[in-house]
Amino acid sequence: MSKLISLLLALFVIRTTVVILNFIAEYRFEYLQKEATADFFQKTYESLQKLSIERLISEKGGEYISKILSDGEMAGIVVSGFLPSILLNLLRFLVVIAVLVYLNPILGIISVIFIPFYFFVFKKYSKGIIESSQEERISYANVLESLKEKIEGLPIAIFYKQENFLIKKFLFDIKEWLKNIRKVIFNMKAYTASYSYLSAIFPLVIFGVGAVLVSIGRTDIGTMIAFYLYSENLFEPLSNFSKNLGAFSQVIPPFSRVLTIIETTYTAPDGTRTLRELKSISLNGLTVKYGDKEVLDNINLKLDFINNVNIAIVGYSGSGKSTLVRFLSGYFDSERCLINDVPITAYSKKSLRKYILLVSNTDFIFGMTVRENLSMGENFSEEEMEYALKLCGLNFGREFLNTKVGEGGKALSTGERQRLALARAILRKPTLLILDEALSGVDAETENVIFKNIKAIIPNLIVISHRLSTVLQCREIYVLDKGKIAAIGTHEELLASCSTYRDIIKEQLIENRNNDVSAKA
Ligand SMILES: Nc1ncnc2c1ncn2[C@@H]1O[C@H](COP(=O)(O)OP(=O)(O)OP(=O)(O)O)[C@@H](O)[C@H]1O
Ligand SMILES: [Mg+2]
């Protein structure tokens, strides 16, 4: 009796321990899996930070989000469960084969002959699975991109009472995705059906061969039945193995999409030279194309900083002004842009940023405090930050530094947002500041005052502005026309010699007159 009780007790302890250990193991495994996914998100985002700006902005935002969140998670989960499962099934498979060969060597060898059939089935379907999964991932990225756009654009659609317009567009993208999902599911299920069919048929073959062996007296019926029953255990690991291979094929596309981020890390190597003095910037036959469209056509120029540079760039909308200054500032990289006669790509970006900054009217404002938008993690004193804000006409006292500006700066007016972006650059006191319509959202009078403030503290300025009053404050004016520099000179010189400049000025003068009229009204 006491033996029975101690046996029961031992069983109770063993079973309880197994449940507890199982709970801990499963909890740890699942948590580790999520932790690995989170780590993966971080690593991929870090890789994203090493891309060139040009590449970064050429791809859709939804594409990156789907790569990092969806593709990354999908690939991570399957792969993390994949290895243990493969090892387990391989082990089971080897043990079963050994037992079968022990039971009956002939039947054992026949069982092994079935293995290539599974690989044949896999080979037949894997291409289709990979291709359809690839298309599915692309269309899923489109759905995310589309959703992002349809949410951001919803206020304007509601205002125009055209919500249906967006629904229809969104539905189109969803349907495209569903169509591709259907292909993936079809391929996966056809593959599953095929290997399951093999697993259902082969035991019958074994049974048949076994029966023949019994009839010719090569084995006894007991061994044959034991063999048949045991052989069932052979096909389960084979099926699991096939299932893993299928799942693996399905995650190849998400995996390789994620790798496109990680691999391209090396497309934007940072230079090793440290810029210590800004002597000159030149463009050496810079031609820029967007698709087939030529935006800059063999631009050659040299700016010497021996005397202070003070340039306005004017030109019709679409003439290439923004593109030009993006290359001049190193926002976009080109071997054809030289700093002190050395390609800009040779310099470390960090050292370049101490000397050259570009501010445009669409510069990003983070949904953080004014202080964080200004410092972006660097150390500046409150006095410095307040002073920079003041120069930009944001005289709201020190408390303003702690103001949260809302997502994308939506709690600020357009002009305030632009001035905050400008203060961010001024705070860093660059040797050369390039402004691309940086103050288009403020009134002409305010732009004038801010521009004067900037001129007093920043030694070199290049300005793109549609305001004549700002252009007139610059010593030299570059006229850009259809991607070429049409003329360079002072306002008076260009009025006398350049018809394009006269036309541009005429239009801007009209704009100014209108402003004057509205100002007086
Ligand atoms: N990412 C892009 N993809 C395709 N085309 C582009 C892209 N960026 C600019 N373009 C085209 O390049 C041309 C020059 O653009 P850019 O922004 O340099 O002109 P801009 O002179 O600054 O015009 P604006 O005065 O209107 O700001 C435009 O015709 C524009 O359509
Ligand atoms: Mg522009």
Q: What is the pLDDT of residues 140-183, one digit of tens each?
A: 988 988 998 999 899 999 999 999 999 999 999 999 999 999 99
Work out the pLDDT band at 17, boundaries 50, 70, 90.
confident
pLDDT at 1 over 90: no
Does any ligand 1 atom lie closer than 6 A to the CB of residue 315? yes
Closest atom of ligand 1 to 320 CA is 18
253 C-beta neighbours (distance < 10 Å), count: 23
Same fold flag, 50-267 and 280-520: no
Which residue did the predictor score with more confidence, 200 or 425? 425
Residue owning the nearest CA to atom 29 of ligand 1: 318
Residue owning the nearest CA to atom 2 of ligand 1: 290
Kindly report the average pLDDT of the chain as a whole number: 88
Residue owning the nearest CA to atom 10 of ligand 1: 290
Best residue among 54, 313, 319, 439 to mutate for probing ligand 1's pocket (most ligand atoms within 8 Å of CB) is: 319
Q: How far is CA 103 from CA 106, 134, 206, 227, in A?
A: 9, 46, 13, 7
Proportion of the chain above pLDDT 70, given as a percent = 94
Cα separation, 250 vs 81, in Å, equals: 14
Does any ligand 1 atom lie closer than 6 A to the CB of residue 67? no
Cα separation, 476 vs 479, in Å, equals: 10
Which residue did the predictor score with more confidence, 58 or 471? 471
Best residue among 323, 434, 437, 465 to mutate for probing ligand 1's pocket (most ligand atoms within 8 Å of CB) is: 323
Q: Which CATH superfamily is domain 50-267 in?
A: ABC transporter type 1, transmembrane domain (1.20.1560.10)
Which of 416, 455, 189 lies closest to 311, judged by CA? 455
Residue owning the nearest CA to atom 3 of ligand 1: 290
- What pLDDT is recorded for position 421? 97
> At 385, which helix (H) or strand (E)?
helix 382-391
Options 3.40.50.300, 3.40.190.10, 2.60.120.620, 3.40.50.720; CATH for 280-520 is 3.40.50.300
- What pLDDT is recorded for position 231? 80
Domains of the chain, residue spans:
50-267, 280-520
Cα separation, 213 vs 223, in Å, equals: 11
- What pLDDT is recorded for position 261? 73
pLDDT at 517 over 70: no
**Arithmetic mean of pLDDT, 459-465:** 95
Closest atom of ligand 1 to 291 CA is 4
Reported as a single tens digit per residue, the pLDDT across 231-273 is 878 888 888 888 888 888 888 888 888 777 766 555 567 888 9
Work out the pLDDT band at 518, boundaries 50, 70, 90.
very low
> At 305, which helix (H) or strand (E)?
none
CA of 320 to the centre of ligand 1 (A): 6
Reported as a single tens digit per residue, the pLDDT across 196-220 is 999 989 888 888 988 998 999 888 8
Cα separation, 461 vs 476, in Å, equals: 11
pLDDT at 424 over 70: yes
**Arithmetic mean of pLDDT, 370-384:** 96
pLDDT at 509 over 90: no
- What pLDDT is recorded for position 279? 95
Cα separation, 177 vs 171, in Å, equals: 10
Reported as a single tens digit per residue, the pLDDT across 399-418 is 999 999 998 999 999 999 99
Task: Note whether 238 and 115 are within 8 A (CB).
Answer: yes
**Arithmetic mean of pLDDT, 55-64:** 77
Which residue did the predictor score with more confidence, 410 or 80? 410
Does any ligand 1 atom lie closer than 6 A to the CB of residue 292? no
CA of 131 to the centre of ligand 1 (A): 36
Does any ligand 1 atom lie closer than 6 A to the CB of residue 290? yes
Q: List the structure tokens of 420.
A: 């905050």
- What pLDDT is recorded for position 14? 73
Does any ligand 1 atom lie closer than 6 A to the CB of residue 322? yes
471 C-beta neighbours (distance < 10 Å), count: 20
Cα separation, 232 vs 402, in Å, equals: 70
Reported as a single tens digit per residue, the pLDDT across 42-55 is 888 888 888 888 88
pLDDT at 3 over 80: no
Which of 99, 122, 97, 98 lies closest to 111, judged by CA? 97
Work out the pLDDT band at 516, boundaries 50, 70, 90.
very low
Does any ligand 1 atom lie closer than 6 A to the CB of residue 326? no
pLDDT at 521 over 60: no
Instruction: Give the DSSP letter of residue 273.
Output: B
Closest atom of ligand 1 to 466 CA is 25
- Least confident segment among 66-75, 87-96, 114-123, 396-405: 66-75
Which of 315, 239, 233 lies closest to 483, judged by CA? 315
Ligand nearest the Cα of residue 331 is 1
Residues 6 or more apart in contact with residue 259 via CB below 8 angstroms: none
Reported as a single tens digit per residue, the pLDDT across 286-306 is 999 988 999 999 999 999 998
> At 436, which helix (H) or strand (E)?
strand 432-436
Reported as a single tens digit per residue, the pLDDT across 313-365 is 999 999 999 999 999 999 998 999 999 999 999 999 999 999 999 999 999 99
Ligand nearest the Cα of residue 295 is 1
Cα separation, 140 vs 376, in Å, equals: 33
Does any ligand 1 atom lie closer than 6 A to the CB of residue 319? yes
pLDDT at 475 over 80: yes
Residues 6 or more apart in contact with residue 427 via CB below 8 angstroms: 374, 375, 380, 384, 385, 388
Burial group, residue 131, by CB count within 10 angstroms (0-12, 13-18, 19+)? middle
Cα separation, 42 vs 350, in Å, equals: 23
Residues 6 or more apart in contact with residue 479 via CB below 8 angstroms: 314, 315, 485, 486, 487, 488, 494, 498, 500, 501, 504
Burial group, residue 149, by CB count within 10 angstroms (0-12, 13-18, 19+)? middle
Handedness of CA 401, 402, 408, 414 (dihedral sign): negative
Work out the pLDDT band at 512, boundaries 50, 70, 90.
low
Task: Note whether 103 and 229 are within 8 A (CB).
Answer: no
Does any ligand 1 atom lie closer than 6 A to the CB of residue 360? no
Strands annotated E in 274-349? 280-290, 293-304, 310-315, 337-339, 342-343
Ligand nearest the Cα of residue 436 is 2
- What pLDDT is recorded for position 265? 54
How do strand 460-464 and strand 432-436 relate by DSSP bridges?
parallel
Residues 6 or more apart in contact with residue 75 via CB below 8 angstroms: 251, 254, 255, 258
**CA-based max dimension of the chain:** 119
